[in-house]
Amino acid sequence: MTKVYGSQYINLGDVSTEAPLRPEPGANGSADHRGHEEPPPVSGPGDYANSGRDHQRANSGERAQGGKQDRLPPLAFIDMSRWDNEPVPEQEWAVHSRIPRRQCVLFSGEGSAGKSTTQLYLSAAHVLGRDWLGTMPEPGPALFIDAEDEERVMHQRLAAITKHYNVTFKDLIKGGLHLLSLSGQDGVLAVASRSGKIEPTPRYQQIYEAVGDIKPIMIGLASSANFYAGSEIDRSQVQQFISLLTRLAVLANGSIVLLSHPSLTGIANDTGLSGNTQWHNAVRARFYMKGIKPENGDDPDSDLREIVFKKNNYGPISESIVVRYQNGLFLPVPGVASLDRAVQETRSSEIFLALLDRFTKANRNVSDKKGTNYAPALFAKEAEAKSAGLDSKPLEAAMRHLFKIGSIWNEPIGKPSRPQYRLAKRARE
């Protein structure tokens, strides 16, 4: 097997296999890319600056040799003459009302928030035609490029996904999932020329050609710091970089999701951004994955996250999704529409169990039946519940939840001839 610029193209049939980023035209059912427009040619890493100057001269009408000006063709205005008789085109989505097609979308979150796992989960949903966070993504091939983690990490994460969907790696291959690890390698897709213009690199050209072959409905890139070598606070450079990524989405007639990390300011003000606001302005949609911030000295729930949709240029902004880490994936918490509510429900359950422990040790038996010993009503009078702002209603909901998951039960007490029960914690098996 040969390597192209050191890329590690992962064959899911044999995760140790290395192959070039761009498959042979027609191999494994992939489309021939020869019909698509080629990006500006760059022959190697040493040509970054040269290609930038040549491409800039071409765009400005200057000849590469001789310094003479070429006359640009007339502007091609949009022909609206048929619009009165043509149906208005509908908005196309990779994920309905969340991720538009033919556009670049920003997915931000702190390190270890779960972005890469969630994006890989989405990629698998596309190729399998399965659900993802309460939606049905458009079916089709997917490409996920991870410049942060090695192949073995991607293997581990994808194993949890196959178990969740009850499928095999062969099913993912058949559906068209393509993985690429650039961990420890040069993954830069765009650099700034001496004039400050953002130019594509040889790596970008590799990926451009692969996208032309695969035509993925979804392209995931993890993460922006590995792919962008311009200034994140320069509005023009940020816009040019997003335009280069959008070009990939247009070529694929799919979507591209760029993963990114917020700055300390972006975390503090809850925007989820780093750099300037052009990261928000340049993309057509974006969402932010964040964890729980503990209050009053409480321990954080490290398994809980909230995905907040911050922008959608083509429709209403979707409601936030609360997810919990379960069996290697972040999955929606049923019936919870906001992180505040999820935190409250978790806290209510914790307080209920703590008070049940205390009452049991004091031989103060409580019941799940309404009456003088009704647990939610008695617990609501205790200092722990009052300080948390809990009355009997959320404690009653917590009791039902704890019964459902098997954390509490009705323990028999007294004589067999006159059975009685008390509420008790169930010992873990």
Residues comprising the chain, all counted: 429
The mean pLDDT of the chain is: 84
Asked if the structure places residue 42 within a domain, the reply is: no
Going from the C-alpha of 313 to that of each of 65, 99, 119, 309, the distances in angstroms are 43, 10, 21, 12
Asked if the structure places residue 29 within a domain, the reply is: no
Rounded Cα distance between 81 and 316, Å, is 30
Do 308 and 372 lie in one domain? The reply is no
Give the confidence band of 60 by pLDDT, cuts at 50, 70, 90: very low
Residue-wise pLDDT for 244-288, tens only, equals 999 999 999 999 999 999 999 999 999 999 999 999 999 999 999
Do 264 and 348 lie in one domain? The reply is no
Do 405 and 333 lie in one domain? The reply is no
Count of Cβ atoms closer than 10 Å to residue 377 Cβ: 16
Do 271 and 368 lie in one domain? The reply is no
Do 176 and 203 lie in one domain? The reply is yes
- Residue 336: its pLDDT value, please? 63
Whether residue 54 is predicted with pLDDT greater than 80 in this model: the reply is no
Give the confidence band of 302 by pLDDT, cuts at 50, 70, 90: confident
What is the full DSSP assignment across 212-278? HHH--SEEEEE-HHHHB-S-TT-HHHHHHHHHHHHHHHHHHTSEEEEEE---HHHHHTT----S-TH
Asked if the structure places residue 108 within a domain, the reply is: yes
The last residue of a domain, from among 337, 362, 386: 337
Do 274 and 378 lie in one domain? The reply is no
> Which helix (H) or strand (E) covers residue 312, if one does?
strand 304-312
Contact 287, 107 (CB under 8 A): yes
- Residue 112: its pLDDT value, please? 86
414 vs 203, more confident: 203
Do 157 and 204 lie in one domain? The reply is yes
Do 333 and 347 lie in one domain? The reply is no
Do 348 and 309 lie in one domain? The reply is no
Asked if the structure places residue 150 within a domain, the reply is: yes
Give the confidence band of 328 by pLDDT, cuts at 50, 70, 90: very high
Whether residue 294 is predicted with pLDDT greater than 60 in this model: the reply is no
The last residue of a domain, from among 337, 372, 403: 337
Tokens at 336, concatenated:
């919870």
SS3 (DSSP) at 50: helix
User: Which of these ranges, 62-66, 101-105, 319-323, 374-378, has the smallest mean pLDDT?
Assistant: 62-66
The last residue of a domain, from among 337, 360, 389: 337
Whether residue 67 is predicted with pLDDT greater than 70 in this model: the reply is no
User: Which of these ranges, 223-232, 310-319, 385-394, has the smallest mean pLDDT?
Assistant: 385-394
Question: pTM for the complete prediction?
Answer: 0.69
| Phi, psi for residue 174 in degrees, rounded to 5 | -60, -35
Do 105 and 227 lie in one domain? The reply is yes
What whole-number percentage of the chain has pLDDT above 90? Answer: 65
Do 229 and 103 lie in one domain? The reply is yes
Asked if the structure places residue 160 within a domain, the reply is: yes
Whether residue 190 is predicted with pLDDT greater than 70 in this model: the reply is yes
Asked if the structure places residue 75 within a domain, the reply is: no
Tokens at 151, concatenated:
């192949």
Asked if the structure places residue 362 within a domain, the reply is: yes
Residue-wise pLDDT for 148-183, tens only, equals 999 999 999 999 999 999 999 999 999 999 999 999
Rounded Cα distance between 197 and 20, Å, is 29
Do 266 and 354 lie in one domain? The reply is no
Asked if the structure places residue 312 within a domain, the reply is: yes
Which CATH number characterizes residue 206's domain?
A: 3.40.50.300
Q: Into how many domains does the chain fold? A: 2
346 vs 11, more confident: 346
Domain with 210, as residue range(s), is 8-19+91-337
